[in-house]
Amino acid sequence: MARPGDKGPTGGDVRLARSEGAAGPVEITSRRIEELSSPRLRETFAIWGAKCGGPERLPAAGGFDILDYRPVIGNLNLLDVERDPLDFVFRVHSANGATYVGRDLTGRSIEDYPNPEYRDFVRAVFTQATLSRQPVILIEELLTADNRRMSWEGLVLPLQDDGGEVTRLIVAFEIMN
């Protein structure tokens, strides 16, 4: 039986979904865009990259248009980054995301995720993208509470305000099995 930290058949990290919280810190390994097998996510990354104003600039949060990201529109979340304390609030929770989580989190914090371990993982990923001002590319394999494997890939793409602070995150994902 797979355990957290093992590599799954797709090469992704296996995470165990369970009702109790995770023990210890969550470590996030960002992958390279070339490692993604999802053409839609690679296209989404290219769209985001074309909107960057240069090597040190991110796309403008105020210029975000969900229709620009049509390849992943059903799997696209948009989050506001709140400060003091750092929190992430769903401006848009995708229909497919709501299905996988079991509830629509639009307008709600990631603190409302029903699974504490997954919430810790999401918080770590979003914090990394926010503080590093860099995209996070994920290839993961999840062992669900009912012992099913779910392979997925995802992007967390930061957006900045006029002052250069990360104020929003685009989160796109694709379930691979």
151 vs 60, 103, 125, CA distance in Å? 31, 20, 17
Identify the structural domains of the chain with CATH numbers, from first to last: 13-18+42-175 (3.30.450.20)
Query: Could you say which DSSP state residue 135 is in?
Result: -
Residue holding tokens 């590599």? 7
Q: What is the pLDDT of residues 137-173, one digit of tens each?
A: 998 887 665 677 778 899 999 999 999 999 999 999 9
Indicate whether 8 pLDDT > 60.
no
Question: Which residues lie below 8 Å from residue 3, measured CB to CB, with a gap of 6+?
Answer: 14, 16
What pLDDT does 24 receive? 41
- Cα separation, 90 vs 86, in Å, equals 14
78 vs 63, 109, 148, 171, CA distance in Å? 13, 12, 28, 6
Residue 14's pLDDT band (cuts 50, 70, 90): very low
Q: What is the pLDDT of residues 17-73, one digit of tens each?
A: 332 333 444 456 778 899 999 999 999 999 999 999 777 789 999 999 999 999 999
- Quote the Cα angle for 96-167-54, to 5°: 100
**Long-range CB contacts (within 8 A, 24+) of 107-110:** 110/79
Q: Which of 75-79, 94-98, 143-147 has the highest average model confidence (pLDDT)?
A: 75-79
Question: Which residues lie below 8 Å from residue 17, measured CB to CB, with a gap of 6+?
Answer: 115, 117, 118, 142, 143, 144, 145
What pLDDT does 89 receive? 98
Indicate whether 135 pLDDT > 80.
yes
